[in-house]
Amino acid sequence: MAASGQKGMYVNMNSGAVQAYLPPFRNALINGDMRINQRVTSTNLASLTAVATTTPGSFVTDRWNVYRPGFAAGASIGQGTGMTYSDIPFAEAGIATYGRVGRTAANAATTAIHCDYNMESQDSYRLVGKQVTLSFYYRNGVNFSDNFLTATLYSGAATDAPLRSGTFTSFATTAFAKSSSWVRATVTGTVPTSAAQVCLRFSYTPVGTAGNADNFDITGVQLELGSVATLFEVRPFPVELATCQRYYQKSYGYTTAPGTAGAGGQLGGFGTTPNFMWAIPFQVNTRIIPTGGTSFRTYGFLSGTIDKCTVGGGTTNYNVNYGAPSEKGVSVFVDSGVSNNYYYIHYTIDIEL
Residues 6+ apart with CB under 8 A from 334: 271, 275, 276, 277, 306, 318, 320, 343
Q: Are residues 300 and 326 in the same domain?
A: yes
Beta bridge partners, 140, equal 216
Query: What is d(CA 54, CA 71) in angstroms, rounded to the nearest whole number?
Result: 6
- pTM, two decimals, is 0.88
Residues 6+ apart with CB under 8 A from 24: 233, 235
Q: Are residues 115 and 184 in the same domain?
A: yes
Q: Are residues 327 and 345 in the same domain?
A: yes
* pLDDT attached to residue 332: 72
Q: Are residues 173 and 273 in the same domain?
A: no
SS3 109: coil
Query: What is d(CA 306, CA 301) in angstroms, rounded to the nearest whole number?
Result: 16
The domain total for the chain is: 2
* pLDDT attached to residue 345: 66
* pLDDT attached to residue 251: 79
CA distances from 218 to 100, 177, 240, 246, 352 (A): 7, 14, 18, 23, 20
Assign residue 22 the CATH number of its domain.
Answer: 2.60.120.260
CA distances from 13 to 17, 235, 246 (A): 8, 18, 34
- Residue pLDDT, tens place only, 217-252: 999 999 999 999 999 999 999 999 999 999 998 878
Strands 148-156, 197-204: parallel, antiparallel or unpaired by DSSP?
antiparallel
The rounded average pLDDT for each run of 10 residues, N- to C-terminus, in the chain (353 residues) is: 47 62 92 97 97 97 98 98 96 97 98 98 98 98 98 98 97 98 98 98 98 98 96 96 94 82 56 66 88 41 39 44 77 64 70 91
**Looking at the domain assignment, is residue 291 inside a domain?**
yes
Amino acid residing at 50: A
Q: Are residues 182 and 256 in the same domain?
A: no
Beta bridge partners, 332, equal 278, 322
Contact 34, 218 (CB under 8 A): yes
The conformation of residue 104, written as its DSSP 8-state character, comes to P
Beta bridge partners, 99, equal 79, 218
Q: Are residues 96 and 125 in the same domain?
A: yes
Q: Which of 245, 269, 300 is the last residue of a domain?
A: 245
Beta bridge partners, 341, equal 271
Domain interval for residue 52: 13-245
